[in-house]
Structure 1
Amino acid sequence: MARTHEFRFSGNPDFDFEIRTTIGQAFSGAADIGEVLAAVEGIGEKDHDGWFRAWLALGDRVAAQGEASAQAGHSASGASAYLRAASYYASAVNAVASLPSEDELLPTFRKHRAAWDSWVDLVDLDIARVDIPYEDTTMPGYLFRAPGSATEKRPALVVVNGSDGALTSLWSSAVSGALRRGYHALVFDGPGQQSMLFEHDLPFRPDWEAVLTPVLDFVLGQPGVDPDRVALYGISQGGYWVPRALAFEHRFAAAIADPGVVDVSTSWTDHLPANMRKLLDEGEDAKFDRDMEFGMKFSHDLASTWRFRARPYGTTGYAETLRAVLQYTVEKVAGQITTQLLITDPEHEQFWPGQSERLAAAAPSVSTLTRFTAAEGADFHVQPLARALTEQRMFDWLDERLGR
């Protein structure tokens, strides 16, 4: 039966999606639905400061619960609270995007990472902090080893984040499911992501194979990893990172793009008026920047969001940023992919509509498209309220491809 109306947690679509994303992590222990809904209740759709403060206060409160439980010797309760606190702090980090300045960004991010690390230390799992060699530096990561895997080689899943996701979201989207099915899993911050951006000011790069090739080399060097069964998963903008890397790095046994992204720039350029796109296409960067600057004066929300979203690209001017984003496309290289690829395709995809189908059409011999619908409660970008269903479909597919 089709829905006759759409329920919203907030009249602000960004707030609504954040709530959906956070409570969708409850099935893996990274949220508790009641405390989330109580914390955000009554926040006006334009109250950006109140929105940030609500998530920060919730993170502080739940982290304090974690500390109290841990100090009293209740490690399981402490771990549970710290994981939820890390998730709530991650939402607070995202909420900084709509504040007048980014002064709160680094302190809030460090609270998020401290809560995550406290969970890592307390939870009854085999997790190692790792440093992955990358050019002249290293990328921080966490290697999760499958339970009971000391005497046999297991498949491994490399998990790739999107443009602004936190490690807690990767636990919910892929890692917890991987461990329950006997996979090792690796999460990491790549260039432009989380700690690599906030603490080291290292921006995105379009040629993500330069990131994933050393990551794969690292994983293949770990004891207990079956070298013929290393798979790859990317969420949100990771749906671009994954196919881009696969066009050049062919050693992964199978991969998942959740969802498929052919051209990152459309989430930026589709909102431009025709006259502004004309200026950009004709190379009138000075005029483009002048008109954008004028328009930003009338929209605090847009100006704050632009600043936050542009930062990972390492650019300054408006036209410069869009020219950088336009490089993030797999249109001309998707045909080079030889790895079997599962592509999620949610109904009502709001950021890259139609692109999952485009990616499947660009690499037809290796692609499997799996649709998610509103009737299943599985619509919107990355199926935020249907992560258990997503997990079931993607791991069933992955198990079959890896002969498990």
Structure 2
Amino acid sequence: MAAAATGLAMPVLAPAQEAQPTESLERGRTRVAGFADAEMDYQLMRQLGAVRYGGASVGECLALAQRIQNGVPASWVAEFAAAGVRQEQDAAARARRGHVVSARDQYLVASNSYRAAEYYCGVLDPKHAQLGLKSRECFLAAMHQQGGAFEAFSLPFGETPLPAYYIRAPQARARRGKTLMIISGYDGTLEETWLAYGRAALERGYHLMLFTGPGQMDTLRFHPGIAFIPEYERVAKVALDHVLSRPGTDPRRVALMGISFGGYFATRMAAHEPRIRALIANSPIVDLHAYMASFAGFDPAQMPDAEDIRLADVDAIPPTVIPPQTREMMRNLMVRLGQESFKRAYQRLHDFRVNDTALRAIRCPVLGLTGSGEGAEPLAQAERFHHGVGGPATRHMFTDLEGADGHCQNANLAYSAAVSMDWLDELFA
């Protein structure tokens, strides 16, 4: 490339002058480099994707990545937790000086840093809930700085209140408006859901309700022993009862979006709830057991008892046999499903299904979102979903050309929002 094109001033040497060794010219020390470990690299991409809606900065994420040991969860947790503390302190200082916008923005970044640390922290470690509650605290501080009609509350669900957020669209004023309900999945949080799709929905004039169910990350922060349940239609009932009781809700324009495992939760909900008038599944999951077994590469539900791994024995497994990251993911799955062994956790996943009859019961318009790089089983389940629902079905496949081929399009959230929200706008027009 020519010097003029680079924008760099190049040294000019006199004919008789010999070049002396000099340091290479640099504009900075942060480098665009990820991780050799595929899962940790995906989590970094997930964090970078949040930049679009104010949940991170590119430079800070890459700087953190340079200090994190590849494939070592404890290193990730330490760096992102420290970043969260630094960002939260900076936000508080700006708030004290009256800089509302700067404080809000920094609180959002801090919230997402704490979430990133929460993800890799062991689910039985007391710090797991502490990091999650710090993420929530910073998010609430950001919403306080922003002002507007924001509510943090709980949905009644037996003895386990379910955390939820409601944000009223400022454009709606006194009239009844369209509402988007969003539920995340296995490790997503209410705060991350806001960053991924919540802000995009509000910008398009939707009232927004973010909610969660048993076993999900937000619920675990308050109720560590509560496991996932297959019957998420029970959660749908209390969530819809709440939304439809609000005077600003137009019952003809209530949509539900499920993200990641939430694709299963939302599909199950829509199969039992005719009050849902539109469904977006990202991605469509109708059989969680088959979905998870595809990532394991075999079916742990069929493994011999002698090879089963019990929850009590996880810490005794040498890192040379099972890497720390994989070991923690196994423990997490057992705890979140309320099972004492890896085999039993996969056997429990058999209960998390939407059968063909239930699929046909979904009569509302549906949109299925998938990434071309998600793998054979997720794409096969999306196909089954598309052809199995009883209402009109639309599908969209994101590709690597858009940088959105991964699970839930974390690397291009704005384009994912454009596809999903435009479909919903046209449907509710």
What TM-score do you get using the length of structure 2 for normalisation? 0.85
Corresponding residue for residue 236 of structure 1: 260
1:72 matched to 2:97? The reply is yes
Q: Give the partner amino acid of 2:418.
A: Q
Corresponding residue for residue 326 of structure 1: 350
The question of whether the paired residues in 2 share the 8 Å contact of 1:256 and 1:343 is answered with: yes
Number of residue equivalences: 390
Q: Give the partner amino acid of 2:411.
A: L
Question: What secondary structure sits across from 2:288 in the alignment?
Answer: coil
Shift of residue 367, structure 1, vs aligned partner: 1.7
Corresponding residue for residue 28 of structure 2: none
Aligned equivalents of 1:265, 1:8: Cα separation in 2? 34
Question: What secondary structure sits across from 2:153 in the alignment?
Answer: strand
> What is the percent sequence identity of the aligned residues?
27
Aligned equivalents of 1:215, 1:276: Cα separation in 2? 34
Q: Of residues 293, 300, 306 in structure 2, which corresponds to 1:287?
A: 306
Q: Give the partner amino acid of 1:213.
A: K
Q: Of residues 120, 128, 146 in structure 1, which corresponds to 2:169?
A: 146
Q: Of residues 20, 43, 47 in structure 2, which corresponds to 1:18?
A: 43
Q: Which has the higher contact order (CA 8 A, sep 6+)?
A: 1
Aligned equivalents of 2:310, 2:154: Cα separation in 1? 44
Comparing 301-310 with 344-353, which one deviates more in the overlay?
A: 344-353
Corresponding residue for residue 356 of structure 1: 382
Corresponding residue for residue 33 of structure 1: 58
Q: Deviation per CA, 1:362-403: give whole Å up to 9, x if none.
A: 22643211110001211110111111111111111101111x
Shift of residue 342, structure 1, vs aligned partner: 0.4
Aligned equivalents of 1:24, 1:301: Cα separation in 2? 22
> Which aligned pairs between 1:209-224 and structure 2 lie closer than 5 A?
209-224=233-248
Shift of residue 9, structure 1, vs aligned partner: 2.0
Shift of residue 47, structure 1, vs aligned partner: 2.9
Distance 1:231-1:58 versus aligned 2 partners, 3 A rule: same
> Which aligned pairs between 1:302-317 and structure 2 lie closer than 5 A?
302-317=326-341
What TM-score do you get using the length of structure 1 for normalisation? 0.90
Q: Deviation per CA, 1:310-333: give whole Å up to 9, x if none.
A: 222122222221111111111332
Corresponding residue for residue 125 of structure 1: 148
Aligned equivalents of 1:379, 1:275: Cα separation in 2? 26
Corresponding residue for residue 252 of structure 1: 276
1:112 matched to 2:138? The reply is no
Distance 1:155-1:10 versus aligned 2 partners, 3 A rule: same
Corresponding residue for residue 390 of structure 1: 416
Aligned equivalents of 2:198, 2:295: Cα separation in 1? 34
Distance 1:364-1:45 versus aligned 2 partners, 3 A rule: farther
Q: Deviation per CA, 1:252-290: give whole Å up to 9, x if none.
A: 1111001111211134323557696544xxxx6x43526
The question of whether the paired residues in 2 share the 8 Å contact of 1:337 and 1:366 is answered with: no
1:380 matched to 2:406? The reply is yes
Work out which of the two has the higher radius of gyration on C-alpha atoms and give 1 or 2: 2
Question: What secondary structure sits across from 2:286 in the alignment?
Answer: coil
Aligned equivalents of 1:273, 1:389: Cα separation in 2? 31
Unaligned runs of 5+ in 2: 1-31
Shift of residue 142, structure 1, vs aligned partner: 1.1
Q: CA RMSD in A?
A: 2.3
Corresponding residue for residue 169 of structure 1: 192
Corresponding residue for residue 56 of structure 1: 81
Q: Give the partner amino acid of 2:412.
A: A
Question: What secondary structure sits across from 1:159 in the alignment?
Answer: strand
The question of whether the paired residues in 2 share the 8 Å contact of 1:296 and 1:302 is answered with: no
Shift of residue 59, structure 1, vs aligned partner: 0.9
Shift of residue 150, structure 1, vs aligned partner: 2.5
Aligned equivalents of 2:120, 2:151: Cα separation in 1? 30
Aligned equivalents of 1:108, 1:136: Cα separation in 2? 24
Distance 1:157-1:376 versus aligned 2 partners, 3 A rule: same
Shift of residue 48, structure 1, vs aligned partner: 2.5
